[in-house]
Amino acid sequence: MKGYTFFLEYPSSKEKKQGRAKSGELGNHTGSIFARYDSDWWISENNEIMIGGAGAIYNQENSPCCSCSASQEYIDDRCKRVSEAIARKVHPNLFRYLEQAK
C-alpha cells in the first residue's frame, strides 16, 4: 500500500530487541501493527514528535483499528519496521480498516 510504513509493536524495548523481522522470527510481539501515514507528523505541546497513522483500539492481537497517533519515541523504543506482507499476516483487521477508509 502506498503512503504507509508498517511497524510491528512489542510489549517492551527488550522484546523488540529479541525479534528478527527480516528473518521471520518476530519474537514476542503484541499482534498489532501501527501504520504510519508517511506525510503526517507534528510537534506536540510537550515538544514530542507525533506521527499520525492507524492502529489497534485494544491491547489484543488483531484488534479492530482506528485513526491514531504515536510518539516517535514510542515507535523507536517499542516498534520494528516490517514489510506489508508481514503486517498483513499479523494484523488483518488493520488492512480492512485501511481499505475501508480510502
CA gap 9, 61 in Å, rounded: 10
Give the pLDDT confidence score for residue 19 in this predicted structure.
Answer: 82
How many domains, in total, are found in the chain? 1
- pTM score of the predicted model: 0.92
- How many C-beta atoms surround the C-beta of residue 53 within 10 A? 25
Domain membership of residue 58 as a residue range: 4-101
Question: What is the Cα gyration radius of the chain?
Answer: 13
User: Does residue 5 have a pLDDT over 80?
Assistant: yes
Q: Which residue has the higher pLDDT, 51 or 24?
A: 51
